[in-house]
Amino acid sequence: MTYEVKSLNEECGVFGIWGHPQAAQVTYFGLHSLQHRGQEGAGILSNDGGRLNRYRDTGLLAEVFKNPSDLEKLTGSAAIGHVRYATAGTASINNIQPFHFEFADMEFGLAHNGNLINAVSLKAELERNGAIFSSSSDTEILAHLIRRSHNPSLMGKIKEALSTVKGGFAYILMLEDKMIAALDPNGFRPLSIGQMANGAWVVSSETCAFEVVGAKWVRDVRPGEIVIIDDSGVHYDSYTDDTQLAICSMEYVYFARPDSVIHGVNVHAARKKMGRRLAQEFQHEADIVVGVPNSSLSAASGFSEESGLPNEMGLIKNQYTQRTFIQPTQELREQGVRMKLSAVSSIVKGKRVVMVDDSIVRGTTSRRIVQLLREAGAAEVHVAIGSPELKYPCFYGIDIQNRRELISANHTVDEVCEIIGADSLTYLSLEGMIEAIGIDTDAPNGGLCVAYFDGKFPTPLYDYEEEYIRSLEEKTSFYIDNVKKG
Amino acid sequence: MTYEVKSLNEECGVFGIWGHPQAAQVTYFGLHSLQHRGQEGAGILSNDGGRLNRYRDTGLLAEVFKNPSDLEKLTGSAAIGHVRYATAGTASINNIQPFHFEFADMEFGLAHNGNLINAVSLKAELERNGAIFSSSSDTEILAHLIRRSHNPSLMGKIKEALSTVKGGFAYILMLEDKMIAALDPNGFRPLSIGQMANGAWVVSSETCAFEVVGAKWVRDVRPGEIVIIDDSGVHYDSYTDDTQLAICSMEYVYFARPDSVIHGVNVHAARKKMGRRLAQEFQHEADIVVGVPNSSLSAASGFSEESGLPNEMGLIKNQYTQRTFIQPTQELREQGVRMKLSAVSSIVKGKRVVMVDDSIVRGTTSRRIVQLLREAGAAEVHVAIGSPELKYPCFYGIDIQNRRELISANHTVDEVCEIIGADSLTYLSLEGMIEAIGIDTDAPNGGLCVAYFDGKFPTPLYDYEEEYIRSLEEKTSFYIDNVKKG
Amino acid sequence: MTYEVKSLNEECGVFGIWGHPQAAQVTYFGLHSLQHRGQEGAGILSNDGGRLNRYRDTGLLAEVFKNPSDLEKLTGSAAIGHVRYATAGTASINNIQPFHFEFADMEFGLAHNGNLINAVSLKAELERNGAIFSSSSDTEILAHLIRRSHNPSLMGKIKEALSTVKGGFAYILMLEDKMIAALDPNGFRPLSIGQMANGAWVVSSETCAFEVVGAKWVRDVRPGEIVIIDDSGVHYDSYTDDTQLAICSMEYVYFARPDSVIHGVNVHAARKKMGRRLAQEFQHEADIVVGVPNSSLSAASGFSEESGLPNEMGLIKNQYTQRTFIQPTQELREQGVRMKLSAVSSIVKGKRVVMVDDSIVRGTTSRRIVQLLREAGAAEVHVAIGSPELKYPCFYGIDIQNRRELISANHTVDEVCEIIGADSLTYLSLEGMIEAIGIDTDAPNGGLCVAYFDGKFPTPLYDYEEEYIRSLEEKTSFYIDNVKKG
Amino acid sequence: MTYEVKSLNEECGVFGIWGHPQAAQVTYFGLHSLQHRGQEGAGILSNDGGRLNRYRDTGLLAEVFKNPSDLEKLTGSAAIGHVRYATAGTASINNIQPFHFEFADMEFGLAHNGNLINAVSLKAELERNGAIFSSSSDTEILAHLIRRSHNPSLMGKIKEALSTVKGGFAYILMLEDKMIAALDPNGFRPLSIGQMANGAWVVSSETCAFEVVGAKWVRDVRPGEIVIIDDSGVHYDSYTDDTQLAICSMEYVYFARPDSVIHGVNVHAARKKMGRRLAQEFQHEADIVVGVPNSSLSAASGFSEESGLPNEMGLIKNQYTQRTFIQPTQELREQGVRMKLSAVSSIVKGKRVVMVDDSIVRGTTSRRIVQLLREAGAAEVHVAIGSPELKYPCFYGIDIQNRRELISANHTVDEVCEIIGADSLTYLSLEGMIEAIGIDTDAPNGGLCVAYFDGKFPTPLYDYEEEYIRSLEEKTSFYIDNVKKG
């Protein structure tokens, strides 16, 4: 049995609002600030007095809503929205969220960020009992569980469904008379509650959306929590007590926007601290620090301040890199690489450069950047990575490459250093990263999920269990086909 | 008489290549790195053994060539390309370059960066003699002058035409058997020559394109020069000896990419020096430096190093700001502003911030950024601008707002400071800017055009003369309608 | 309770093929000849060795498959296709067929022409048992019934499902190893079997598709029949013996293409006979016969031959009438009407014209054509209709307007004559129509469904029963909201 | 020297209006009724108080104006429009009309139906004097001639230009304060004047447009005439007295809509008379008459009435034949042919069929239709053509195939009969055609141009002279490359 889970794994962004006359428009602006979490597709579902309307399509938010009338039709004072991560080949509109489920007796909308780890077995069991799925997304499972629950109350059905799915999830449901947000028992994915000046409640994957729509942060949704928002206000409930915070550490390292605050920690500040700590652990002589734009600029800044080395703009990112349809021919391939990033010769020439990056996945990009710096005249290139070695896949919502592709799953630090052509290679230690982020010193791993670094998954692996065990036995051949970044 | 010159003024990018089997593809990559110089439209014209083919359209380069076959049809070993600045309302495909002129006896292509100052009178005279223009661009004028010249040789006709047009221009012509680059007698616009490993010659508005296509810089085109490139190599000639370098200082301040080198000066380095000098001239107490991304990050870095104040990422630019079709309603307008830029509260809260920006045009953007910083908790906001006060329009190719809109043409520094809501406002001195850029200490203004700052234009103003004189008389009411940024 | 059945009623076309290397392309050509049966959307699902692929979209077939690669991806030696009737407003891609149902253990495709009359109650019951529908089409019901059947064999499940749905249906199912065609117990909709020269089996709503793809007619599918086609050939089975042919008479009157043959009767020939019979029943003096193009030209030809009056081209149809997005302003509305049809003054001037049309629904079109003829100079306009008065809605797959809109449900022949401004109005008698079509003289109504004319529906009305009874009580106010033509 | 005149030859439609508040919308409806004259592109230019605005694009009218706002922007009380014939490969928007010429001192619009025969030499001479052409259309020549004329008055310049161009032309010019229509000295192309109820004047290639917009025919424009329409009314003038009516006979045979009236003769009536005369000249036994839809239905009707043979609908044209992007594979090519036309077996089986068509160009289509009829069971197929043998090209605006492709230029009637597989082949005699159309019995050829039939061109051939003489010498090898139908 091969696991074709390619379209199940996804990093996405969700947003919801209750109580604003331009609910869909506010959602549009909220999603715009979450665009970095997903570029494959986007959608908004609005609630106009209990009647739900939805519009969705593939592409960036601005492409999906290029016709303003498509947004204007989404009338009503409540709405939820979703941006979806780009995975190659399966850009079917069927998988674009929010989903909209309609029945003779009710209707509801559903948006989901995360990845279930018992999706395959749940789906198989549901199908054996007559269920028909209309997408290849695991998000639909929750809807089937809700509709098939024998619990007499709708809230009871929803809690029962939430207790049945396993893995990482941040859900927003739009019912006819209320909006519901729910988080998995480990809080793998971020989800925050805010409030606008007019009293409207908003829910968002990241707090950066609150800035954009003019809302104030109220509090983060907690593991195992279910938040009910209706015209009477916000109510916090839970569907389980068996919780333990293990927020994805990669949100701090790479995914989230630097101006977001997750569990009380500003992402830029965390990255800067990781850069400072990395500088402490770094043991080489150098002249300047160069961050790989844009995600590593914060870490480079911290590294520079701690080390005293000047922080220079030795690498320039072209602002117009999104989606070109022209592929360089074989002869021009090396040039094509330089479309995204250029090294500034007048800065790096003759210098011993510390190149700060957030992570190394397959190593190919790092190798090219090292080469760019050398061609621009760098005397030495010391690579410093603001996180530990990536050795294990993630099952809770990030689409880390399968182990066969993870360079650190198959090579030692020295080997990687040689492969990428660097003069030295330094990873931030796991302890260093946990301390630098510093959410909660009392919790295991400081409240973080660090399984991609140490292989210790905070939950059973359900459908992935067998593969994982196999992977321990034959390390480098560990292979989950088609697990894409997401 | 009103001057409707809206589509004549343009800041653009040009690229040309001679002697490469994938000439059009190389041009595509070259233009990609010049995309920041123009986003309204793009085009490429190729030369296949003397037969020219062209494809152009409105939009970003990647949108214009979204169908790879459109590029594949541009066969041949030579090509020229153009990216055009976005001016509102006149996005007619007729104005997208390169132009392609076909005759029974010959054909040629033409790409132009700059603005002529005798275009109105030349066009009127040509029309009086039967000429028909097919676009509202002033670029077409050169073609009419060439075709109507009575000089017996084609090179003679071209030189005669180049001597007739006045103002700022960097032209690339593609003839059947050669490619020609030419610069105005003041060299207002940048233009450089490079060479690829296979011997192919390239010409580009900025050297950043050389990095992308793997070419080495050879030398910059000089004022009044005409460069002929054919299968026998490159030949430098001139059409006038009455030259004086006056390269546009705004290229260093704002337009050019930081990794480009213009007349021997790296743009990032120049900006950093402007930031250093600005720090020397700055006379206030502060805690941190925050650059306005992306164009002011170099200056902020220089300011930080010179002042010793930490350089912090207090403003975050959303990467996905290009063209949204959804306009915020009146109630959401303030939120809409934040789609592009966010202030990071955890960084600026309680701090006295030096906000470094490259220039102030109308003041509205500055006022909003100051407000963002204050709302995020900044204790004080001191605005430091890496260039002098913008008081005069440009007639050579930058689309600076007309004087009625230029805030510094109508207000003192203290008034501007109050309007934008800053605690203090410091502009870099003109001397400081000239010294910081430092091209050529012997030339007037160090080889720079600084007319937008001091009103001393390096050439007669021709069609604009009357307006300019009027402007000296009634300063604040100086008004050239529709002179757009470009 | 209002019946919002707008997207349930549909007149469509289906096509299937088994055993041809270019199965999808043959299906494309087959559907092309069925385009008159549906212009809202189209789709093709192919079977490549048991793996199904599907492409569908809104619009005409040629618009859906404007990118040839979308068709080329539909590999395999079997395929089914569908063209969908245009109903305003609900052009959601979700309702475009064929449907493609995927499960962990199997997959199948489904295309449907017709309308179920117990869809509302079946859907409600399925939803009560946890079913989730992904479209508003009633076609999906069959899939749920199949998946939920407890019959041990797949064929048993399918027969059970076919026995559960009521109304008019011609289904084609594509399973992994066979293709299945099935018809309702009254055979309301046409469906024929053919064979290509290479032995491939084809199934089509109309035989005109056989001409286009080069297939020979084998036989029509019979009421209550289930036809199984696989690599071993074609097998005829049935899921019920309680059958009685009642093929929709409007197929002969209006829908089907004149070159199709249904139950042994050529459509053009039937229309011509209806025209002859109409001429016999017509009792006025006239000079010329003018058919309303294109559907009434056959009837006009028959009328002319029987009456001896010359058949003239007094009305010209513009060939380019499809979809204009420009709506005439109030002042130009009368002109806009003439975009589709023009009267030829030199033909009708001074003549007593018999205007032959196939049917009158709301009367507005007839009134305008009469007016056109009068403005062109016709001395008298006698309207002759090739079918009886349309008084009742259809529940089996044609989207006849609701009773409130049917002019003949609310007005006598004399009243209608006055409303449309004719000098006389003659309808073909019911007996005349039945005899002219002449399928089977022994069957009730000669094997035809004529319920729209006499209100005697061949089946119970299930979900529509209550409304129908109510309609008998208060005749003119009978109202099923949103029952569109289809 | 090869003549690449492919984009010069065009059959098109023009429309103009002066004095209506919705001038552009009326023009849209007028052009819609002229769509059969050109499907490559369309455009409208409006005049709002002396300011001209234009919108044009490739495609059908409804595609060009699919965004209603593009039409709404064309404000003003006067407008001209154009539909352009589809020629393969050169669908550049540059050639789509009306052209819009803008100068500092004036602007004007220009629409053209026809073909100049001294275009190549005029264009060469203009270019030698510095003219730059922006399209490959010969229409632009008139604008250059007007602008270069030394005549002191604008009307004088226009008359001088009209006297300089030679060949076939119907022009409509939109000036700032008037609209001008002009016809060549032979009146090769039709052009009529009408008036709307509100007094607005309209000009159209065909009178069918008057029906659509609710205008009454006033009179046809005469050879050599120039019609000036402004707020004071309509004024008839002429630029030459050397005129002789020679209206294109193919307008009656094939191009024009049957409801149009040209020089007093209704097109449908003319075709019917041609059919009657053809029946008189036909000398074979037969059972039924079948016209090839749609253009030959009138002729078939006349043939039937004269011969007494029944007129049957033995060939059905698919209404949805416009532009499919899917090309049949080699194996399916024969099927693909049947997408457009089907034979009705129940009508033709066992019958001796007279297949009436309007003309034979290359013979390939005729051969396929004969084959369709035979496969449907026709006992004999006698082909009767409603015009004489097409032996010579047209230089005045129809794009008849070059002589190498014209089957009758290279084969006798008997040979053609054999090639197309008919049992007999009858062409209408030239005398028969001239008498049947019957415009003016006193004029040469009854006022018709019949040069494609007899090779006697009514004018010198100018740029084509040499080729034509050569063609007389080596008849079958006469070859003008790329002269497309148009």
Alpha carbon of C145 to those of A130, C115, C182: distances in Å? 9, 16, 15
Residue type, B180: I
Asked if C132 lies within 8 A of A123 by C-beta distance, the reply is: no
pLDDT given for residue A163 in this prediction: 98
Q: What is the pLDDT of residue D86?
A: 57
| pLDDT score of B294 | 84
Residues 80-119 of chain B whose Cβ lies under 8 A from any Cβ of chain D: 93, 101-105
Rounded to an integer, the average pLDDT of C207-219 is 93
Q: How many Å apart are CA A54 and CA A24, to the nearest integer?
A: 10
On the CB side of C131, CA atoms within 13 Å amount to 22
Is pLDDT at D9 greater than 80 in this prediction?
no
Q: Which of C28, C20, C13, C108 is nearest to C71 (CA)?
A: C28
Which pLDDT band, with edges at 50, 70 and 90, does C486 fall under?
very low
Q: Which of B103, B124, B147 has its CB closest to that of D104?
A: B124
Q: What is the pLDDT of residue A224?
A: 98
Largest pairwise CA distance in chain C: 73
What is the mean predicted confidence (pLDDT) over D386-396?
A: 91
Q: What is the mean pLDDT of residues B371-391?
A: 96
| Residues in chain A closer than 8 A to B204 (CB atoms) | none
Compare all CA atoms of chain D with the CA of B141 and give the residue at the minimum distance: D132
The pLDDT of residue D485 = 27
Residue A295 pLDDT level (bands cut at 50, 70, 90)? confident
Confidence of residue A430 (pLDDT cuts 50, 70, 90): very high
Quote the minimal CA–CA distance from C431 to chain D in Å.
24
Question: Which has more pLDDT, B115 or A161?
Answer: A161
Work out the percent of chain B whose per-residue pLDDT is above 70: 88
Query: What ipTM goes with this model?
Result: 0.86
pLDDT category, A470, cuts 50, 70, 90? low
At B148 the pLDDT is: 97
- Considering only CB atoms, which chain C residues are within 8 Å of A127? 103-105, 147
Comparing CB atoms, the residue among D269, D325, D347 nearest residue C62 is: D325
Mean pLDDT value of segment B351-377:
94
Predicted local distance difference test score (pLDDT) of residue B121: 93
pLDDT of res. C397: 80
Higher local confidence (pLDDT), C384 or B319: C384
Across the interface, whether the CB atoms of A266 and B347 are under 8 A apart is answered: yes
Amino acid found at B308 = G
State mean pLDDT over D44-59.
96
Please state, in angstroms and as integers, the Cα–Cα distance from residue A274 to each residue in A213, A362, D126, following that order: 30, 22, 73
Domains of chain A: 10-244 (3.60.20.10), 268-484 (3.40.50.2020)
Distance from CA of B125 to the nearest CA of D (A): 10
Reported as a single tens digit per residue, the pLDDT across B125-142 is 999 999 999 988 889 999
Chain C from 48 to 87: CB within 8 A of any D CB: 60-62, 65-68, 71
At C40 the pLDDT is 87
Of A159-173, B308-322, C321-335, which range is least confident?
C321-335
Q: Which residues pair with A219 in a beta bridge?
A: A193
| Structure confidence by residue, pLDDT tens digits, A92-105 | 788 899 999 999 99
Is 70 exceeded by the pLDDT of residue A486? no
| pLDDT surpasses 90 at D192 | yes
Q: Could you tell me the two tokens for C212?
A: 């286009």
Interchain proximity A123–C133, CB inside 8 Å: no
In angstroms, the CA A392 to CA A406 distance is 8
Distance from CA of C181 to the nearest CA of D (A): 24
pLDDT score at B280: 98
**Is A357 annotated for ligand binding?**
yes
Question: Would you please indicate which residues of D are annotated as catalytic (active-site) residues?
Answer: 12
The residue whose two tokens read 């305008």 is C368
Nearest C-alpha in B relative to D4: B104
Report pLDDT for C41: 92
Give all chains having 3 or more CB-to-CB distances under 8 Å with chain B. A, D
Q: Is D295 annotated as a binding residue?
A: yes
State the pLDDT at residue B397: 80
Q: Do A35 and B310 touch (CB under 8 A)?
A: no
Kindly determine whether residue B329 and residue A62, on different chains, have CB atoms separated by under 8 Å. Answer: no
Chain B residues in contact with D133 by the CB 8 A cut-off are: 102-103
Quote the pLDDT of residue A328.
64
Q: Which of these, C344, C329, C336, lies nearest to D206 by C-alpha position?
A: C344
> How far is residue D213's CA from residue D210's CA, in Å, rounded to a whole number?
5
Which SS3 state, helix, strand or coil, does residue D172 take?
strand
Give D-chain residues touching C29 at CB under 8 angstroms.
Answer: 328, 332, 335-336, 339
For CA atoms B142, B144, B150, B151, the dihedral sign is positive
Mean pLDDT of chain B: 89
Q: Do B104 and D93 touch (CB under 8 A)?
A: no
- Across B124-142, b (16+ Cβ under 10 Å) vs e yields eebbeebbbbbbbbbbbbb
Q: Over 70: is that where the pLDDT of B9 sits?
A: no
- CA distances D389 to C65, D416, D448, D452, D455, Å, are 40, 10, 16, 8, 11
Percent over 70 (pLDDT), chain C: 88
pLDDT(D254) > 60? yes
Specify the residue for token string 């009837």.
Answer: C299
> Which B residues 344-383 touch A at CB under 8 Å?
344-347
Q: What is the pLDDT of residues B142-180, one digit of tens each?
A: 999 999 999 999 999 999 999 999 999 999 999 999 999
What pTM did the predictor assign? Answer: 0.88
**Who wins on pLDDT, B295 or D186?**
D186
Residue of C1, C52, C134 to mutate, interface with A, max A Cβ within 10 Å: C134
C contact chains, 3+ CB pairs < 8 A: A, D
pLDDT for D470 equals 64
For residue B90, the model assigns a pLDDT of 52
**CA of B112, closest CA in chain A: separation in Å?**
22
Q: What pLDDT digit, counting tens, does each position of C366-393 carry? A: 999 999 999 999 999 999 999 999 998 8
Q: What is the DSSP string of A126-160?
A: HHHTT---SSS-TTHHHHHHHHH---SSHHHHHHH
Q: How confident is the model at residue C484 (pLDDT cuts 50, 70, 90)?
A: very low
Mean pLDDT is lowest, of A5-9, A277-281, B257-261, B414-418, for A5-9
Which of B12, B248, B394, B449 is an active site residue?
B12
Distance from C-alpha of D401 to C-alpha of C289, rounded to nearest angstrom: 39
Cβ of D26 within 8 Å of Cβ of C332? The answer is yes
Q: How high does pLDDT run on average in chain C?
A: 89
Nearest residue of B to residue A35 by CA position? B320
* pLDDT value of residue C377: 95
> C226 and C50 in contact (C-beta within 8 Å)?
no
Q: What is the pLDDT of residue C327?
A: 64
Predicted confidence (pLDDT) at residue C100 exceeds the cutoff of 50: yes
**In this complex, how many residue pairs, one in chain A and one in chain B, have their CB atoms less than 8 Å apart?**
181
pLDDT confidence of residue C156? 98
Q: How far apart are CA B169 and CA D170, in angstroms?
A: 43
D48, HSE (Cβ side, Cα atoms, 13 Å): 12
Query: Are 3 or more Cβ–Cβ pairs between A and D shorter than 8 Å?
Result: no
Q: Tell me the chain A residues in contact with residue C147 when contact means C-beta distances shorter than 8 Å.
A: 127, 130-132
Cβ under 8 Å to C: D residues 168-227: 208, 211-214
Interchain contact, C61 vs D320, CB within 8 Å:
yes
pLDDT digits (tens, 9 = 90+) for B243-292: 999 999 999 999 999 999 999 999 999 999 999 999 999 999 999 999 99
C332 touches chain A (CB under 8 A): no
pLDDT of residue A268 exceeding 70, the answer is yes
CB contact under 8 A, A104 and C93: no
Among the listed residues C12, C248, C417, C449, the single catalytic one is C12
Decide which of A470 and B207 is more confident: B207
State whether residue A48 is helix, strand or coil. Answer: strand
Q: Which amino acid is at A486?
A: G
Strand partners of residue B356: B291, B384
Q: Is C127 on the interface with A (CB under 8 A)?
A: yes
Q: Which of A158-167, A246-255, B340-349 has the lowest mean pLDDT?
A: B340-349
Say whether A214 and B329 touch across the interface (CB within 8 A): no
Which of B103, B132, B143 is closest, CB to CB, to D147?
A: B132
C88 or A21, greater pLDDT: A21
Interhelix angle for A154-164 vs A140-148, to 10°?
130
Identify whether C12 is a catalytic site residue.
Answer: yes
CA–CA distance, C2 with A187 (Å, rounded to integer): 45
Residue B105 burial by Cβ neighbours in a 10 Å radius (0-12, 13-18, 19+)? exposed
Cβ atoms within 10 Å of A69's Cβ, excluding its own: 8
Q: What is the pLDDT of residues C61-71, one digit of tens each?
A: 998 998 888 99
* Residue pLDDT, tens place only, B209-255: 998 898 999 999 999 999 999 999 999 999 999 999 999 999 999 99
